[in-house]
Amino acid sequence: MEPTTLVTFLVAGAASLFMAWAIGAGSSGSTPFAPAVGANAISVMRAGFFVGVLGVLGATLQGANVTEAVGRELVVGTTLSPGAAIAALSIAAALVAVGVFTGYPIATAFTVTGAVVGAGLALGGDPAWNKYYEILGVWTLTPFVGSGVAYGTAKLLRHESVPERAAIPALAGLVGAILANVEFVLLGPPGGTGTIASTLGGDALVGRAAVTLAFAAAAAAALAADMRSDEAAGQRHFLLALGALVAFSAGGSQVGLALGPLLPLFDTTSVEIPLTALLFGGGVGLLLGSWTAAPRMIKAISQDYSSLGPRRSIAALIPSFAIAQTAIFLGVPISFNEIIVSAVIGAGASAGTGGISAGKMGYTVLAWVGSLVGAGVLGYGVYTAVSAVL
């Protein structure tokens, strides 16, 4: 490898690692277990530990789709140069880090998307309008779907005529059905993905449906038995399982924000690194962020937005898991702050105000919009300025 190429990879790798750390410290490290922490089902430090480990697994097994989208689908007609990739990653990571240390959840997907698009356009690329429409659709629907489903689920669990020993296992069955149809790298052909339902049930719809129903029934039966033994403990175990699934999904989604801009570098050089190894390395970056800085944001999400009990926390995490997996399937970069905060608001609203801080939410929405626009302007401006000087 030529010295110039080596230096480029070292600088770009450092920027990507910083981005992964910032994401782990922020959205993927703080949000998955925040409702569980708010419900006193797990401590802040223990949540930070587990979310880091689960994030590595999710990044390795599910990170390919979003990584490809961020690296190759946000701008058409050109390929990100090493300088553009470094500029985009550095700008996005700096903005996310500001959010981490100020206590405001900057949306990582917004910052990375804006920075990559801005740098790509400055490089001479054209807007990928079809991808933008898809991304904008998911981003726009997320707060309405997440808060609406969380609100309805929390209302259902609070209704006097609905026995919890029947309703909560039924929700566990729904989660089991979703899990059976989640795509994993290890279950697919080389370079592809596959689901548990398709692996065990084959290509036929009947076979996949049978596996899905079996998973749903097993999950519901297991939780029902747990709740018969100790209802409160069963709710807590389900809540922790949901937090684990959301943390896993966060790794699968967020790692692409750190690694995506690196992919064009491999297209323009002879360096070859298996994508799985690259995803694992990005997952380690997420883990470091989760272990070193996530507790601050976990506190912000779990306490500042809403005070949730176990039932409302369960109601918040179920749509969060479903939305995250939908975004991963579509290859859409999405903010876990947006997912979780929206669901927390919906679940909290089911009991009146739910302790929601209107002022905090107003600042958060401004931070989301500002991170997208600001990252785009900075990405375009910084790369243009650096290119003119060099």
Question: Half-sphere exposure of 297 toward its Cβ, with a 13 Å CA cutoff?
Answer: 36
DSSP state of 302: I
Question: What is the pLDDT at residue 258?
Answer: 87
> What's the sign of the alpha-carbon dihedral 59, 261, 98, 326?
negative
**AA identity, residue 6:** L
Question: What is the pLDDT at residue 10?
Answer: 81
Neighbouring-strand partners of residue 127: 75
Helices of type H across the chain: 3-25, 27-30, 34-38, 44-62, 64-72, 82-102, 108-122, 129-158, 164-180, 196-201, 205-229, 231-259, 263-267, 275-299, 310-330, 336-349, 358-389
- Taking a C-beta distance cutoff of 8 angstroms, is the pair 41, 241 a contact? no
Question: What is the pLDDT at residue 318?
Answer: 93
Question: What is the pLDDT at residue 340?
Answer: 81
> What is the spatial distance between Cα 184 and Cα 249, in angstroms, rounded to a whole number?
11
Residue 272 makes CB contacts below 8 A (sequence gap 6+) with 266
Q: Strand, coil or helix: what is 269?
A: coil
> 186, 228, 241, 226: which is closest to 41 by C-alpha?
241
- Taking a C-beta distance cutoff of 8 angstroms, is the pair 379, 115 a contact? yes
On the question of pLDDT at 343 being above 80, the answer is: yes
Q: pLDDT for 306-321, tens place per residue?
A: 466 788 888 989 999 9
> 384, 345, 387: which is closest to 38 by C-alpha?
345
Q: pLDDT for 344-387, tens place per residue?
A: 888 878 776 555 566 666 777 777 788 888 899 999 998 888 88
Least confident of 33-42, 43-52, 183-192: 33-42
> 286, 343, 293: which is closest to 314 by C-alpha?
343
Rg, C-alpha atoms of the chain: 21
Q: Which of 17-26, 182-191, 227-236 has the largest mean confidence?
A: 227-236
What phi-psi label fits residue 353: left (phi over 0), alpha (psi between -120 and 50 degrees) or beta? alpha
On the question of pLDDT at 1 being above 60, the answer is: no
Q: pLDDT for 195-216, tens place per residue?
A: 899 999 888 889 999 999 999 9
Mean pLDDT over 259-271 rounds to: 77
- Taking a C-beta distance cutoff of 8 angstroms, is the pair 70, 113 a contact? yes
> What is the spatial distance between Cα 334 and Cα 109, in angstroms, rounded to a whole number?
5
CA distances from 101 to 47, 173, 211, 299 (A): 19, 39, 45, 12
Question: What is the pLDDT at residue 306?
Answer: 47
Question: What is the pLDDT at residue 305?
Answer: 45
Mean pLDDT over 163-169 rounds to: 89
Question: What is the pLDDT at residue 163?
Answer: 86
Least confident of 1-5, 159-163, 341-345: 1-5
Mean pLDDT over 220-239 rounds to: 91
> What is the spatial distance between Cα 272 and Cα 379, in angstroms, rounded to a whole number?
27
On the question of pLDDT at 288 being above 90, the answer is: no
pTM exceeding the 0.85 threshold for the entire prediction: yes
> What is the spatial distance between Cα 11 and Cα 17, in angstroms, rounded to a whole number?
10
Q: pLDDT for 67-111, tens place per residue?
A: 989 988 999 888 888 888 888 888 887 887 777 677 665 678 888
On the question of pLDDT at 282 being above 70, the answer is: yes
Q: What are the structural domain ranges in the chain?
A: 3-158+244-389
Question: What is the pLDDT at residue 31?
Answer: 67
Mean pLDDT over 15-23 rounds to: 82
> 234, 239, 212, 236: which is closest to 223 by C-alpha?
234
